[in-house]
Structure 1
Amino acid sequence: MQFTESWLKSLVNTPLNTQELGDKLTMAGLEVEELEPLAPEFSGVVVGLVVKKDRHPDADRLSVCQVQVGEGDVRQIVCGAPNVAEGLKVPCALPGAELPGGFKIKPTKMRGVESGGMLCSGKELGVPSDVDGLHILNGDFPVGGNVRELLGLNEMKFTLKMTPNRADCLSVWGVAREVAALTGATLNAPSFSPVAASINDTLNVTVENTDLCGRFAGRVIRGVNNTVKTPQWMVDRLEGAGQRSLNALVDISNYVMLELGRPSHVFDLDKVQGDLTVRWAREGEKLKLLNDMEVNLKPHMGVICDDNGPEALAGIMGGDQTAVNEGTVNIFVEAAFWHPNAIVGRAREFNFSSEASHRFERGVDFQTIPEHLERITALIIEICGGQVGPVVDQVLNLPARKPVTLRHARAEMVIGMPFTVAQVQDVFTKLGFEFTTEGQGAEGQAAGTRYVVNPPSYRFDIQIEEDLIEEVIRVVGYDNLPLRAPMGKLKMLPAPEGKVSRHAIRRQVAALGYQEVVSYSFTPEQWEADFNSNTNPVRLLNPIASHLSVMRSTLIGSLTGVLKHNLGHRVDRLRVFEVARVFEHDEKVQDGAQTVAGFKQTWKLGGLAYGLADQLQWAANNNRPLDFFDVKGDVEQLLHGRKVDFERFDTANPHPALHPGRSARVLVNRQVIGFIGELHPKLAQEYDLPVAPIVFELLLDGLNTRKLPAFKEVSKQPVVVRDLAFVVDQNIAAAQLKKALLEVKDDNLGWLKSVILFDEFVPKEEGKGLNLNEKSLALRLTLQASDRSLTDADIEPLLTKMIEHAGQRCTARLR
């Protein structure tokens, strides 16, 4: 929000100087982001009158001008501007002048002709100008006068950084109300005197959807003259607010929007076909906007239509078809209340924002529409003339403004300082809030007092008690808060040892040599298809980039993208991980404190390893490339202390991103929590990776709990070791055989302390008791009792059961 200091002070009579005013607004929550003059600093520029112009003898595009810069002071200046002409008054920088950017003017020769200064364009002075060439000055300016003072360029311009809740201050009048409340200054309200109707012409407007438009007002004005020049005072204020002057009717509409916060639209009545209808758009409808953008409308967007179809995008921007121009004679002026929920986000779907949508999606005053329409009308009649029809005001569906109660004791507790009842009442009075006081006791017993406030129609941000507490301390002043040490008592809450935080998990993975990366949750749709076979990803309505159009359901694509980026920067060994949410559709999910209905948001840990198994070093031959089992060991380290199993994917249902023969599911307590494997060769080739990396992805729910260690007496008895070699089919995994041995139902199974695979033999030809489709797996069993030494008589029955069970489950036989 931009405006000039003089415009603000014309509405509020405050004695504060510029810096004091800026500080006061900032401390009240209206941050003054910039406080600067209308134009950058320059000096030595005066009003020059071009008294003679001749062609340069050696340059077709240069002119030799005689410029009067004072009484009896005529300078010869060479100028290249195309619009220089005799009789013009233009800015003239004399020798010694300094222009914005530190550019100093000195006498010089241009193509052999002496030049004693420089005639300036608006761009060179840092002032807005629609002229291509020299900045043309008002003919009434005295020759030799100081251009900076005559143009008022020393005036200060305020730029406020508004918070989204303060839509009421998106106007100079709104800021003036704040200044009056903060300083006690007197407000000078603009005139809202009704303009009497001189004709009976009206335009029928039908509002079909009151959830789109809650109030619609408008009037017909005939016989306007839009060729007149906008008054300079209005142009100056518009330019000070960052607005370019276009034509009188558009300037008036923009001016009232900036002055009062009331967006409006002016239709060329002669271009409107039939009556107007306010409704939601229909599928397939199109509209060319005032910014020359043609948009495809959607059913959740509001439009104003005539018999030909949509003519304006409701609350956002008018259409090109009915726009006013210099030939406009008859107009229809519209001012309406559009429900914020019907406007928010619509303009961003077309990748632009308008001044109107910026205000309507935050909430615009719905009670003052007739008064503001009278203000617009009065300015149009004053500047453009015309005959005025009656105001047609339809009140349809205005938002309910529920009273908000403030407890005095609650305000003191939250703010941290005492207040009197009179202080709180004074704040609400200054802000113009209607209120009643309940439960008021004697002075010193204000704690039980309650204030019931009816929020004004322009304060959409006043909804709960905390909003009123904020208003109290804003107006009283944050700088009046007492300086006190914190008095809060802190409790040392015990952290459950069985719960592992996400931060601790990150530290564990980092300790294994992995580096954490943070990447966007938005990914290309192709990644979802390649790395997770996800054909129905969660799509973004307004992606930050066209290729980042969906939410990721796996972290593997992002990690592969990190690898690809690093390979392009000559990184040949990489271990990275990411802890983040992934997103999927799930109709079972309901709205909650941390959930959104219909969407499942799951925390996962993803990792990727690439290159050599170890860093280069002189003491070992470490040129061995990384393999599946290196990363499997890392995953086992992360899951240490839990019952972990790895199962190969079914050949009929492999993971789409992993090598079919070099991948596995990860199970904890027989529950699948993720996967590990080598990236599929097809994807390695598609993404131009020299070698396929090893990747893993685990649910954080499988990592963030752990079994607490429990004391167990160490046995003093000797261990017994038995080696068993089994012949099994080559499709049987060692893990299956080991699982079969551990599932034996026997009271003495507790003696079995470990089962380790120490040998695998796969025959290349028939013989040695093996067929070509068989292999030998040798397992070492360690047994130990806590109360006695085990004998063969103790062990043999258990081993016999284990061998039989392995035969039943895995068709295994002893070799």
Structure 2
Amino acid sequence: MNRQHPNRIGYEIMKFSEAWLREWVNPAVTTTELADQLSMAGLEVDSVTPVAGEFAGVLVGEVLTREPHPNADKLSLCTVNVGAAEPLQIVCGAANVAAGLKVPVAVIGAVLPGDFKIKRAKLRGVESQGMICSAAELGLATASDGILPLAADAPVGADFRAYLALDDQAIDVDLTPDRGDCLGIAGIAREVGVINRTPVTPPAMEPVPAVNEERFPVSLEAPEGCPRYLCRVIRNIDPAAHTPLWLRERLRRSDLRPISPVVDVTNYVMLELGQPMHGFDLAELEGGIHVRMAEEGEPLVLLDGQEITLRSDTLVIADRVKPVAIAGIMGGEHSGVTGESRDILLESAFFSPTIITGKARSYGLHTDSSHRFERGVDPQLQRRAIERATQLLLAITGGEPGPVVEAAVEAHIEPRPEILLRRDRVARVLGLEIDDATIADILTRLEMRVAPVAGGWKVVAPSCRFDISIEEDLIEEVGRIYGYTRIPTRRSAAATVMRAEPEVTFNLQRAKQLLVDRDYQEAITYSFISQEMHDLIDFGHDPVVLANPISSDMSIMRTTLWAGLLQTAMYNQSRQQARVRIFESGLRFIKQDYEIKQELMIAGLLSGDAEPEGWGVPARAVDFFDVKADLEALFALTGCPGEFRFQAATHGALHPGQSAEILRDGAVVGWIGKLHPELERKLDLTSGVYLFEIGVNGLLEGRLPAFRPLSKYPSIRRDIALVVDQAVDFDAIRQTIRESVPEILREILLFDVYTGEKVDSGRKSLALGLILQESSHTLTDEKVESVMARVIAALADRYNAQLRD
């Protein structure tokens, strides 16, 4: 259970050294061909990068003497043997330089990364014939505390680049979640060997015999989460030992930072075999290992110093009195191996993916260990891994290993299923015939047990392949190893029937294009928002809270699209983009009676000037009626815009005097209005912001346009000025007029609204134009006067309307 990713130089899914891979399997292909093969086999290669900067002229040297510089307190005068006839005199400023140390030396004429050339120089009056290099100066690290010490057996005079095999590439593979078996060199090597029909030769991993009988007891109290746990006591390791350079280099090339021998070895085995491991300080453990579920509220300080409160659904590794690690995720600080530890307990376990998945994220963690256990680790790998770690650790730190202690409940380790693979099914799915020998060979080289039966094979996948459980999985394996490029492309032929699209259905794509035509830009925002944003703009709806949010500001599902649009407006205005016209279509999520209601919505936001800045149009800020006009154009797409009404109403996020419900046949389908001034202040939005949101379901029913014969008789216009109460809106007046004279009324125009002199307080004057027309004859003055009298009477009766003098 290694440390969290901040200890990584840069977290990638699986990054490894090509030279390391070729020690396991070495096909006769170039680096580019190897990367292409992996990608075509479903292991997408993101990048191939050099493992070191470009440099030349750097040799392995040995410091013979070190003396103080005669003219500088912080400099040393060294003689260095680089295999030449005479030792070199080099001035060095590193504090860790010492006689007898093997070091990389850039001799005269060398070129270091950044095109830095080494020349003869005088430092404080003393000639220096080269430079003793640090890891950072060679492009092997981002920072260094001193020069780079080499192994005692490093050959003096050898080319440093060749000595560390720095003409190497780091391959970064982006794995799909089902391929946890390739989160180790062993898994990648198996794939390369199968693709190229090349044998895989892993390093020798012989069991390490115990030199004492010391055992640490293990109790599996939650076998459904941890059905196998192995550990081993190793006493009297050398705490002053250093991880060898070759191992540190392999970690570095996989973007892991070396820390100490025990941690480095467990990380190395994880990268090599895919099995996460952990080392405990034996002196800090009391009374044995207990793999159990945590008690609600138990505290634990993790290796990164973070103190967490455990939940009862979390599997932990504990001793007799306390938890010492979150199983499969991270160890505790108190029991971790330090520079003073002499006795350790190595752990190698199998944790069920179902018990690990989501736990790390729920505690705000993500580690290499949790990444692997969530995807599935081979349940038969643990003994091999602990023997390999013991082998490496003893070679570095020495020590006295005890026997491997194993606790297992096999009933909770799911066996791999026997799958019937039918010959004709392979041909039908892949679209080509592959001979039996090739199919059997591919599956066998993938380490599957293959037994021929009538019509096909019975196949059992290896324990590392959690992703293979049905026949189609086997066909996929055959197809990808055989080669997708070898599968012919065929056009399917079938009788098809064109499906008629209802002409009256609202077309969302057309609506979006209309808004674009009206100078909007489409935005796509996250469906997740913060609780704070929700409480500000839509506290009336009960949100869906995520159990494992990506981050604290994305912890609930949005109940309105305004959340994302407002955040987009804030982002733009903070970058001096005051004019914002955006819209979005997408789902909102509302919890109702223990169910999640998903509604498709279309929403928009406007702020800033109504028109782009220019000399031909006077500057004017966008207002309520600009938004209303855009919505009316949207409603016209339904073919029945008259069914929609705007009714003044109050919404918690909108300005009390500039907000309205959008109604269709009396049902609320959306909202329109100006953002509440208090919200503008809290969100730091500087100009007036207007919003709308409509449920797409409320727009779906439409009406086809229908032709109506044009009247050949002239129309007549009559203008009236009505004085009504301020509370009476024009929409109500228009509806009353239509009800009064439906047979000859063609259009109603509102061309003036007046309040002020000669109009009583609390009243307003509306100037209306009525267009009247008959379809069968010319209107007479008597008919028009009768109609107008009927209209005025209806308005006076319903709204106390009076004709203005």
TM-score range with shorter-chain normalisation?
0.7 to 0.9
Correspondence 1:425 to 2:440: yes
Correspondence 1:506 to 2:512: yes
Q: Distance in 1 between matches of 2:572 and 2:26?
A: 62
What does residue 457 of structure 1 align with?
463
Aligned with 1:730 (options 714, 726, 734): 726
Q: Distance in 1 between matches of 2:31 and 2:554?
A: 46
What does residue 560 of structure 2 align with?
554
Q: Tell me if structure 1 keeps the 8 A contact 2:43–2:175.
A: yes
Aligned with 1:221 (options 233, 252, 274): 233
Shift of 1:120: 1.5
Correspondence 1:307 to 2:320: yes
What does residue 484 of structure 2 align with?
478
Aligned with 1:344 (options 347, 352, 357): 357
TM-score by length of 2: 0.85
Aligned with 1:434 (options 433, 445, 449): 449
1:254–1:634 distance in 2 versus 1, CA, 3 Å: closer
Q: Distance in 2 between matches of 1:491 and 1:370?
A: 61
Q: Tell me if structure 2 keeps the 8 A contact 1:97–1:104.
A: yes
Q: Tell me if structure 1 keeps the 8 A contact 2:716–2:773.
A: yes
Shift of 1:549: 5.2
Correspondence 1:388 to 2:403: yes
Shift of 1:639: 1.3
Q: Distance in 1 between matches of 2:341 and 2:505?
A: 73
Aligned with 2:108 (options 77, 95, 102): 95
Aligned with 1:581 (options 577, 586, 597): 586
Q: Distance in 1 between matches of 2:207 and 2:69?
A: 60
Shift of 1:666: 1.9
Shift of 1:460: 1.6
Q: Tell me if structure 2 keeps the 8 A contact 1:226–1:325.
A: no
What does residue 467 of structure 1 align with?
473
Deviations 1:105-160 (A, max 9, x none): 11122222222211222222234699832222334444333222333334555443
Amino acid at match of 1:655: H
1:155–1:60 distance in 2 versus 1, CA, 3 Å: same
Q: Distance in 1 between matches of 2:30 and 2:574?
A: 58
Correspondence 1:670 to 2:666: yes
Shift of 1:476: 1.0
Q: Tell me if structure 1 keeps the 8 A contact 2:23–2:202.
A: no
Q: Pairwise mapping of residues 171-320 of structure 1 onto structure 2 (< 5 A)?
A: 171-188=184-201, 202-213=215-226, 215-221=227-233, 223-227=235-239, 234=247, 237-320=250-333
1:405–1:665 distance in 2 versus 1, CA, 3 Å: farther
Deviations 1:137-190 (A, max 9, x none): 334444333222333334555443333221101112212222232223333456
Q: Distance in 2 between matches of 1:787 and 1:723?
A: 24
**1:361 counterpart SS class:** helix
Q: Tell me if structure 1 keeps the 8 A contact 2:561–2:601.
A: no
Q: Pairwise mapping of residues 483-494 of structure 1 onto structure 2 (< 5 A)?
A: 486=491, 494=500
What does residue 24 of structure 1 align with?
37
Q: Distance in 1 between matches of 2:271 and 2:211?
A: 28
Q: Distance in 1 between matches of 2:346 and 2:73?
A: 50
What does residue 592 of structure 1 align with?
none
Shift of 1:81: 1.7
Shift of 1:362: 0.5
Aligned with 2:598 (options 594, 597, 600): 600
Aligned with 2:742 (options 734, 737, 749): 749
Amino acid at match of 1:221: V
Q: Tell me if structure 1 keeps the 8 A contact 2:305–2:333.
A: yes
Q: Distance in 1 between matches of 2:781 and 2:418?
A: 87
Q: Tell me if structure 1 keeps the 8 A contact 2:217–2:405.
A: no
Aligned with 2:736 (options 735, 740, 765): 740
Q: Distance in 2 between matches of 1:129 and 1:515?
A: 43
**1:660 counterpart SS class:** strand
Amino acid at match of 1:598: I
Q: Percent identity?
A: 38
Shift of 1:481: 3.6
What does residue 11 of structure 2 align with?
none
1:705–1:329 distance in 2 versus 1, CA, 3 Å: same
Shift of 1:798: 7.2
Q: Distance in 1 between matches of 2:651 and 2:767?
A: 30
TM-score by length of 1: 0.85
Amino acid at match of 2:348: A
Shift of 1:311: 0.7
Deviations 1:479-532 (A, max 9, x none): 4344x5756678765544333443322220122233334444455544433433
Structure 2 runs not aligned, ≥5 long? 1-13
Amino acid at match of 2:446: L
1:733–1:248 distance in 2 versus 1, CA, 3 Å: closer
Q: Tell me if structure 2 keeps the 8 A contact 1:728–1:812.
A: yes
The answer to which of 86-95 and 7-16 deviates more is 7-16
1:750–1:334 distance in 2 versus 1, CA, 3 Å: farther
Shift of 1:361: 0.7
What does residue 648 of structure 1 align with?
647
Shift of 1:303: 1.4
Counting matched residue pairs gives: 784
Q: Distance in 1 between matches of 2:574 and 2:90?
A: 57
Q: Tell me if structure 2 keeps the 8 A contact 1:208–1:279.
A: yes
Q: Tell me if structure 2 keeps the 8 A contact 1:253–1:376.
A: yes
Q: Tell me if structure 2 keeps the 8 A contact 1:40–1:125.
A: yes
**1:97 counterpart SS class:** strand
**1:312 counterpart SS class:** strand
Deviations 1:687-732 (A, max 9, x none): 5656524332223334455322123222334445555665543322
Q: Distance in 2 between matches of 1:20 and 1:510?
A: 46
Aligned with 2:521 (options 515, 520, 537): 515
What does residue 55 of structure 1 align with?
68
Deviations 1:373-423 (A, max 9, x none): 444455556752233264333335224644555554554455443322332
Q: Tell me if structure 2 keeps the 8 A contact 1:729–1:775.
A: yes
Q: Tell me if structure 1 keeps the 8 A contact 2:357–2:374.
A: yes
Shift of 1:248: 4.2
The answer to which of 176-185 and 772-781 deviates more is 772-781
Q: Distance in 1 between matches of 2:592 and 2:672?
A: 28
Q: Distance in 1 between matches of 2:230 and 2:700?
A: 63
Q: Distance in 2 between matches of 1:567 and 1:233?
A: 53
Q: Distance in 2 between matches of 1:257 and 1:716?
A: 89
Q: Pairwise mapping of residues 689-700 of structure 1 onto structure 2 (< 5 A)?
A: 691-700=687-696
Shift of 1:790: 5.3
Q: Distance in 1 between matches of 2:45 and 2:192?
A: 13
Q: Distance in 2 between matches of 1:435 and 1:33?
A: 34
Shift of 1:473: 1.9
Correspondence 1:109 to 2:122: yes
**2:733 counterpart SS class:** helix
Shift of 1:285: 2.3
Q: Tell me if structure 2 keeps the 8 A contact 1:198–1:389.
A: no
Q: Tell me if structure 2 keeps the 8 A contact 1:226–1:247.
A: no
Q: Tell me if structure 2 keeps the 8 A contact 1:728–1:774.
A: yes
The answer to which of 797-806 and 497-506 deviates more is 797-806
1:725–1:399 distance in 2 versus 1, CA, 3 Å: farther
**1:637 counterpart SS class:** helix
Which structure carries more relative contact order (alpha carbon 8 Å, separation 6+)?
2
Q: Tell me if structure 1 keeps the 8 A contact 2:220–2:407.
A: no
1:732–1:371 distance in 2 versus 1, CA, 3 Å: same
Q: Tell me if structure 2 keeps the 8 A contact 1:756–1:780.
A: yes
Amino acid at match of 1:649: A
The answer to which of 158-167 and 539-548 deviates more is 539-548
Q: Tell me if structure 1 keeps the 8 A contact 2:542–2:592.
A: no
1:138–1:580 distance in 2 versus 1, CA, 3 Å: same
Shift of 1:221: 2.5
1:467–1:712 distance in 2 versus 1, CA, 3 Å: farther
The answer to which of 110-119 and 702-711 deviates more is 702-711
Shift of 1:315: 0.5
Amino acid at match of 1:63: S
Q: Tell me if structure 2 keeps the 8 A contact 1:317–1:354.
A: yes
Q: Tell me if structure 1 keeps the 8 A contact 2:602–2:694.
A: yes
What does residue 168 of structure 1 align with?
181
**2:349 counterpart SS class:** strand
Amino acid at match of 2:604: G
Over the aligned positions, Cα root-mean-square deviation in angstroms equals 3.8
